[in-house]
Chain A
Amino acid sequence: MTTKPRFALPALNALLGSAMIGTLVLAALAGLLWTPFDPLAIDILGKLQAPGAQHWLGTDEFGRDVMSRLMNAAFTTLSIAVLTVLAATLTGVCLGILSGYLGGVVDRAVMMITNTLLAFPGILLALGLLSVLGNSRYGIVLALGLAYCPSVVRIVRSTVRSLRESDYVEASRVMGHSEGFILLRHILPNCLAPLIVLATSMLGWVIISESALSFLGLGVPPPEPTWGNMLAASRDNLSDAAWLAIFPGLCISFALLGVNLLGDALRDLLDPRMQR
């Protein structure tokens, strides 16, 4: 069976994904400067208004404008996601290189920590750190960063290990290049492709985890809006005000879809196994 490689699909995915994420980022940034209403201003008399001319996406149980809150939440969620992925990747890369390159005791210690973290439900980790750090978005970044760091460690470690003994690294050593040079010149670039792919998927996982934590009441504390805590609050009025459950969820799914499309495109472009 011969199928012609069609590059249209990854390109389309990349375009669509970037457009979706771009839209959200724009909305989030715009939300910093301007929102239709004050996202925290309550209006008891105007509570639970269905979407309409004045409040495009309706109002919540305190009469707060849903659209303004969603815009504010976009910034919170996206900034948490980006910071978390950065934190997890940086820590993970360092640990992974240490562990893969040095091997021995260091490797075993790192793997032990990694396995322990993997056997640890993220909820408690998040709650513990949140309470210790005070319930702020940085607590969530740290907690989720710790939770996702092991996957980075694993990928980097296995790449490093497979490359350490490879012919061209050996060759490089023979040519008298220092270990640091080899690391920067040969090993890190090879980690880059899988890392970019992983980081993109991680962006999606973090968005889900952050909303899930907020949904359980363990995330960013209200009244500061996040998509997750808006969804959680919507449950009380599910039968009267379905829009409160629909719009925040749409935002989360929109963001995830954008990230997933972009991730697919990147994978197609970068993952050597997928290239033909």
Chain B
Amino acid sequence: MFLHLVRRIGSSIPTLILVSVLIFLLIRLVPGDPAQLLLGDLATEQSLARVRQQMGLDLSYPQQYLIWISQVLQGDFGHSIQTGQAIAPMIIQRFGVTLSIVLVAIVIASLIAIPIGMIAAWKQNSRLDVGLVTLATLLLSIPSFWMGLLLLLLFGLQLGWLPVVGYVSLREDFHTGLLYLIMPIITLVLVESGTLVRMMRSSTLEVLRLDYISHARAKGVGEAMVLARHAFPNAFGPTLTLMGIMLGNLLSGIAVVETVFTLPGLGRLLVDGIYARDYPVVQGCMLFIASLYIVVNIGIDAIHPLFDPRVKDA
């Protein structure tokens, strides 16, 4: 098991190197010059040359890449072209915002969705099941950014219960901070629950058809027990994988939700970095996200066997 993990981590290193090269090249392929953006329409050839030299952009690509990657290996992600601030602390701070929302949302969503999915499967084809599945399908069909806008319209503008935009760090003022997080979290919970309910339902259905469940039932085990002790552990595997994928997607991909609610998260940092052609910021964010993605996947794979006997046997 441990060896397997080590091998997984080892095999992800070439992927990361490839990712870093691709990011480096791709952002430079995009038209637009960071020096020009910094200086705007007042730029002259001399001032552009000066800024490029200051930022090391006058070096050849291989040189730039080697400098960057050797800094990264020493834990230094460099400084933002736009603001001159160190990037590593910036990523960590922004990631904190994103992580707090995503983690809370996924935990709440799974607490709601897993029992509902199991109940729907258990009552397959009943009115309850059809109702729950329809609701889940509806939720699944609402993109997060529209859900966010609708919540904004309702709770922010019509009812005035919650602040419309902005962000207050929880550390600064816990209660106020919480108010700003409610709507983004509800948005994600609603959107992700749909997927989770359906996943949990279908994997429970599959498990409920297996012989050992019939055996358990034949032995007179109560339905609640059958669901909780026998069906859940085996039905949870696929849902867990899905949650892993979701986590990875959300950590990198909630830029849209962050945009709707103007949250200073990692996704916004990346998108703003792209707009500003802030090469070091984009490279840092992307490398961080890619590593995160890989780590999450390895983590999920590592705990997956606990929930799926078939994988364990294999």
The answer to whether A and B touch in the complex, with CB atoms under 8 Å apart, is yes
**What is the interface of chain A, defined by CB distance below 8 A to chain B?**
1, 3-6, 9, 112, 115-116, 118-125, 127-128, 131-132, 204, 208, 211-212, 215-216, 218, 231, 234-235, 238-239, 242, 245-246, 249, 252-254, 256-257, 260-261, 264, 273-274, 276
In the complex, what's the smallest C-beta–C-beta distance from A251 to chain B, in angstroms?
10
In the complex, what's the smallest C-beta–C-beta distance from A117 to chain B, in angstroms?
9
Decide: A131 near B29, CB < 8 A? Known: A112-B14, A119-B293, A121-B286.
yes
Q: Contact check, B270 vs A123: say whether CB atoms are below 8 A apart.
A: yes
> Of B69-77, B138-146, B180-188, which binds chain A?
B138-146
Contacts of A132 in B (CB 8 A): 29-30
Chain B 24-37 per-residue mask, 1 if CB under 8 angstroms from chain A, else 0: 00110111100000
Decide: A239 near B157, CB < 8 A? Known: A119-B290, A131-B31, A216-B271.
yes
User: Is B235 interfacial (CB-CB < 8 Å)?
Assistant: no
In the complex, what's the smallest C-beta–C-beta distance from B178 to chain A, in angstroms?
23
* B16, B19, B145, B206 interface centre (most CB from chain A within 10 Å): B145
User: Is B252 interfacial (CB-CB < 8 Å)?
Assistant: yes
Decide: A120 near B290, CB < 8 A? Known: A249-B149, A252-B143, A260-B141.
yes
What separation, in Å, do the CA atoms of A113 and B268 have in the docked complex?
27
What separation, in Å, do the CA atoms of A118 and B293 have in the docked complex?
9
In the complex, what's the smallest C-beta–C-beta distance from A262 to chain B, in angstroms?
11
Q: Contact check, A211 vs B149: say whether CB atoms are below 8 A apart.
A: no
Contacts of A218 in B (CB 8 A): 271, 274
Q: Contact check, B256 vs A212: say whether CB atoms are below 8 A apart.
A: yes
Decide: A3 near B149, CB < 8 A? Known: A124-B286, A216-B271.
no
In the complex, what's the smallest C-beta–C-beta distance from A165 to chain B, in angstroms?
15
Nearest-neighbor residue (CB-CB) of B194 within chain A: A260
Choose from A3, A9, A112, A254 the contact partner of B18 (Cβ within 8 Å). A112
In the complex, what's the smallest C-beta–C-beta distance from B249 to chain A, in angstroms?
9
Q: Contact check, B256 vs A215: say whether CB atoms are below 8 A apart.
A: yes
Q: Contact check, B149 vs A238: say whether CB atoms are below 8 A apart.
A: yes
Chain B 11-24 per-residue mask, 1 if CB under 8 angstroms from chain A, else 0: 01011101100110
Q: Contact check, B19 vs A116: say whether CB atoms are below 8 A apart.
A: yes
Contacts of A124 in B (CB 8 A): 23, 26-27, 270, 274, 282, 286
Q: Contact check, B125 vs A6: say whether CB atoms are below 8 A apart.
A: yes
Nearest-neighbor residue (CB-CB) of B122 within chain A: A1
User: Is B259 interfacial (CB-CB < 8 Å)?
Assistant: yes
User: Is B163 interfacial (CB-CB < 8 Å)?
Assistant: no
Q: Contact check, A3 vs B143: say whether CB atoms are below 8 A apart.
A: no
What are the 9 A-B residue pairs with the smallest beta carbon separation, nearest first? A249-B146, A256-B141, A257-B141, A128-B26, A119-B290, A131-B30, A116-B18, A245-B149, A121-B252
Contacts of B259 in A (CB 8 A): 215-216
What separation, in Å, do the CA atoms of A252 and B217 have in the docked complex?
44
Choose from A127, A216, A235, A253 the contact partner of B141 (Cβ within 8 Å). A253
* A5, A246, A260 interface centre (most CB from chain B within 10 Å): A260
If over half of A's interface residues share one DSSP class (helix, strand or loop), that class is named, otherwise mixed; here it is helix
Nearest-neighbor residue (CB-CB) of B257 within chain A: A212
Nearest-neighbor residue (CB-CB) of B282 within chain A: A124
Question: 16 more A-B contacts (CB under 8 A) besides A119-B290, A245-B150?
Answer: A4-B125, A9-B130, A116-B19, A119-B15, A119-B19, A120-B290, A121-B253, A124-B27, A131-B29, A131-B30, A242-B157, A245-B146, A245-B149, A256-B143, A257-B138, A260-B141
Contacts of B23 in A (CB 8 A): 120, 124
User: Is B124 interfacial (CB-CB < 8 Å)?
Assistant: yes
Within 8 A of A (CB), among B116-175: 124-125, 130, 137-138, 140-143, 145-146, 149-150, 152-153, 157
Q: Contact check, B152 vs A238: say whether CB atoms are below 8 A apart.
A: yes
Decide: A127 near B152, CB < 8 A? Known: A211-B143, A256-B140.
no
What separation, in Å, do the CA atoms of A77 and B260 have in the docked complex?
21
Contacts of A254 in B (CB 8 A): 141
Q: Contact check, B143 vs A264: say whether CB atoms are below 8 A apart.
A: no
User: Is B294 interfacial (CB-CB < 8 Å)?
Assistant: yes
In the complex, what's the smallest C-beta–C-beta distance from B180 to chain A, in angstroms?
17
Contacts of A212 in B (CB 8 A): 143, 145, 256
What separation, in Å, do the CA atoms of A238 and B14 have in the docked complex?
46
User: Is B255 interfacial (CB-CB < 8 Å)?
Assistant: yes
Within 8 A of A (CB), among B255-314: 255-256, 259-260, 270-271, 274, 282, 286, 289-290, 293-294
Contacts of A5 in B (CB 8 A): 125
What separation, in Å, do the CA atoms of A252 and B149 have in the docked complex?
13
Q: Contact check, A125 vs B26: say whether CB atoms are below 8 A apart.
A: yes
Q: Contact check, B15 vs A9: say whether CB atoms are below 8 A apart.
A: no
Q: Contact check, B271 vs A123: say whether CB atoms are below 8 A apart.
A: yes
Q: Pick 12 A–B contacts, CB within 8 A, sort by A.
A: A1-B217, A3-B125, A5-B125, A9-B130, A119-B293, A125-B26, A128-B26, A128-B29, A238-B153, A239-B157, A249-B142, A249-B150
Contacts of B274 in A (CB 8 A): 123-124, 127, 218
* A115, A121, A122, A264 interface centre (most CB from chain B within 10 Å): A121
Decide: A261 near B137, CB < 8 A? Known: A3-B124, A124-B26.
yes
